[in-house]
């Protein structure tokens, strides 16, 4: 995920009176680490959970709690606070503050800011599960979700401060930061649908052993995040791989090459942009019905060729869709990758060099070539996040050219 969009942004963070306020301390930290300037506005009740000194030390600014606290007396505080910012984040948002915001009640500084907001508002609810499920609360959330500029994050399930277990936990600080970065990102991919695959297939030898490879799926997760942040409708197919956080895409799972082929066939017909990063086994053993027992000094496996999903998908893809593949090569990188681009009818192929000293699998950064039929671009030592951003930009550009609206 590209957090650069948060750099130099003015964020107003509303903190209401819930125990999850302690997690908002970490959120504040993460936002400032990304280069955002954060003004904290708390409700009076929030002071029961986290004190002024903590907010002040971490934001470098005086936190505000009352309607008549004015850092600049020439301005009307709640109006300037609500309108001179790039983003408002309410975390934690209690049932009470959500209800007030839904009804337009503005009886303190925090709720007056909701009422006067012109910037996007991101709300992270946090409350006990009975309060969350209360029909009045659900109705209030629905009202806010339907209000232009308002985005309400789903709370998580798990242990709650009241000792019970259930839905109502505030989203994790990192998830809120991802959502915030997504809201502030430009949306060049709006109106396009994406299918992205990532991970490594498992081909079973017997019920307990399989043949696989080291592809972690990280690149695919970064691509899915970047495409989602750019406004695309994303379906991510995780092949034995699952992202820690899903910011709002459709997530599908597969394990073997055959299953993956079936799911790609089913979904690629709806994709405007198809990116196949998954490392698919080229051969699969005939699976023994029960565990193979140790005995012989050596044994052999018979392997059958699997479907080349990317090549086969040329017949399943929507006309005019953008098709992107990856190539891992030990020798003749450019030549082999270009041959794959042609054989698999791709618009672009990302070529990775693999050697005894370097494998892109599981590594943080990578040196790659972006190869199209008539161009080659080289990117040295770029992070997977940067690679994803660049690839999403190129994919959208190719799509716009194909569809005549660049």
Give me the residues that bind ligand CTP (CB under 6 A), please.
257, 276, 278, 280, 282, 306, 308-310, 325-328, 340
Smallest gap from Cβ 363 to ligand CTP, in A, equals 17
Q: Which two tokens stand for residue 85?
A: 């910012």
Q: Whose Cβ is closer to ligand CTP: residue 271's or residue 309's?
A: 309
Smallest gap from Cβ 310 to ligand CTP, in A, equals 3
- Residue pair 124/92 in contact (Cβ under 8 Å)? The answer is yes
Alpha helices in 61-214 (DSSP H): 77-83, 95-103, 109-116, 129-133, 135-145, 173-184
Q: What is the CA radius of gyration of the chain?
A: 25
Smallest gap from Cβ 250 to ligand CTP, in A, equals 20
Residue 91's Cβ-side half-sphere holds a number of Cα atoms within 13 Å equal to: 36
Smallest gap from Cβ 53 to ligand CTP, in A, equals 53
The Cα-based distances of 220 to 203, 216, 279, 392 in angstroms read 21, 9, 11, 11
Smallest gap from Cβ 257 to ligand CTP, in A, equals 6
The Cα-based distances of 22 to 244, 247, 341, 384 in angstroms read 22, 22, 51, 31
Measured CA to CA, the distance from residue 96 to residue 108 in angstroms comes to 12
Measured CA to CA, the distance from residue 144 to residue 138 in angstroms comes to 10
- Dihedral sign for Cα 2, 3, 8, 13, please: positive
Q: Whose Cβ is closer to ligand CTP: residue 147's or residue 265's?
A: 265
The Cα-based distances of 72 to 37, 61, 108, 127, 382 in angstroms read 17, 13, 18, 34, 44
Q: Whose Cβ is closer to ligand CTP: residue 42's or residue 325's?
A: 325
What region, left, alpha or beta, does residue 53 occupy, with left being phi > 0 and alpha being psi -120 to 50 degrees?
A: alpha
Longest CA–CA span in the chain (Å) reads 88
Smallest gap from Cβ 383 to ligand CTP, in A, equals 20
Q: Which two tokens stand for residue 101?
A: 């915001």
Smallest gap from Cβ 318 to ligand CTP, in A, equals 17
Measured CA to CA, the distance from residue 219 to residue 328 in angstroms comes to 13
Q: Which two tokens stand for residue 403?
A: 């569809």
Measured CA to CA, the distance from residue 95 to residue 197 in angstroms comes to 38
Q: Has 103 been annotated as catalytic?
A: no
Q: Whose Cβ is closer to ligand CTP: residue 97's or residue 280's?
A: 280
Check 34, 103, 162, 385 and give the catalytic one: 162
Backbone angles phi, psi at 291, to 5 degrees: -55, 130
Q: Whose Cβ is closer to ligand CTP: residue 280's or residue 321's?
A: 280
Q: Whose Cβ is closer to ligand CTP: residue 189's or residue 309's?
A: 309
Smallest gap from Cβ 344 to ligand CTP, in A, equals 6
Measured CA to CA, the distance from residue 247 to residue 151 in angstroms comes to 12
Q: Whose Cβ is closer to ligand CTP: residue 8's or residue 266's?
A: 266
Q: Whose Cβ is closer to ligand CTP: residue 267's or residue 306's?
A: 306
Measured CA to CA, the distance from residue 348 to residue 189 in angstroms comes to 17
Measured CA to CA, the distance from residue 352 to residue 340 in angstroms comes to 13
Instruction: Please identify every residue annotated as catalytic.
Output: 162
């Amino acid at each position: 995920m590209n957090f650069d969009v948060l750099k130099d942004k003015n964020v107003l963070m509303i903190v209401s009176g819930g125990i999850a306020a302690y997690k908002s301390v970490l959120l504040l930290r993460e936002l400032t680490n990304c280069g955002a300037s954060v003004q904290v506005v708390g409700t009076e009740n929030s002071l029961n959970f986290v004190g002024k000194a903590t907010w002040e030390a971490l934001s470098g600014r005086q936190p505000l709690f009352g309607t008549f606290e004015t850092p600049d007396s020439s301005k009307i505080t709640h109006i300037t606070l609500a309108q001179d910012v790039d983003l408002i984040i309410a975390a934690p948002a209690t049932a009470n503050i959500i209800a007030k915001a839904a009804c337009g009640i503005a009886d303190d500084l925090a709720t007056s800011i909701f009422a006067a907001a012109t910037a996007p508002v991101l709300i992270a609810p946090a409350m006990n599960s009975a309060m969350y499920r209360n029909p009045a609360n659900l109705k209030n959330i629905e009202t806010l979700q339907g209000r232009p500029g308002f985005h309400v994050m789903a709370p998580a399930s798990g242990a709650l401060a009241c000792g019970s277990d259930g839905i109502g936990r505030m989203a994790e600080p990192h998830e809120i930061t991802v959502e915030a970065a997504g809201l502030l990102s430009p949306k060049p991919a709006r109106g396009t649908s994406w299918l992205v695959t990532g991970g490594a297939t498992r081909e079973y030898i017997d019920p307990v052993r399989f043949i696989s490879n080291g592809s972690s799926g990280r690149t695919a997760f970064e691509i899915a995040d970047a495409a989602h942040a750019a406004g695309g409708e994303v379906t991510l197919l995780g092949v034995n791989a699952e992202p820690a956080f899903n910011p709002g895409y459709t997530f599908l799972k597969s394990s073997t090459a055959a299953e993956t082929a079936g799911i790609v066939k089913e979904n690629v017909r709806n994709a405007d942009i198809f990116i196949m990063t998954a490392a698919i086994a080229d051969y699969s053993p005939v699976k023994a019905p029960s565990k193979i027992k140790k005995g012989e000094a050596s044994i052999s496996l018979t392997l059958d060729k699997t479907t080349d999903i990317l090549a086969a998908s040329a017949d399943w893809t929507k006309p005019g869709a953008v098709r992107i593949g990856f190539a891992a090569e030990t020798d003749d990188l450019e030549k082999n990758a270009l041959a794959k681009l042609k054989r698999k009818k791709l618009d672009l192929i990302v070529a990775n060099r693999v050697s005894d000293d370097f494998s892109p699998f599981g590594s943080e950064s990578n040196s790659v070539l972006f190869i199209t039929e008539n161009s080659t671009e080289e990117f040295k030592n770029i992070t997977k996040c940067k690679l994803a951003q660049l690839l999403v930009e190129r994919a959208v550009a190719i799509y716009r050219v194909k569809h005549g609206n660049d």
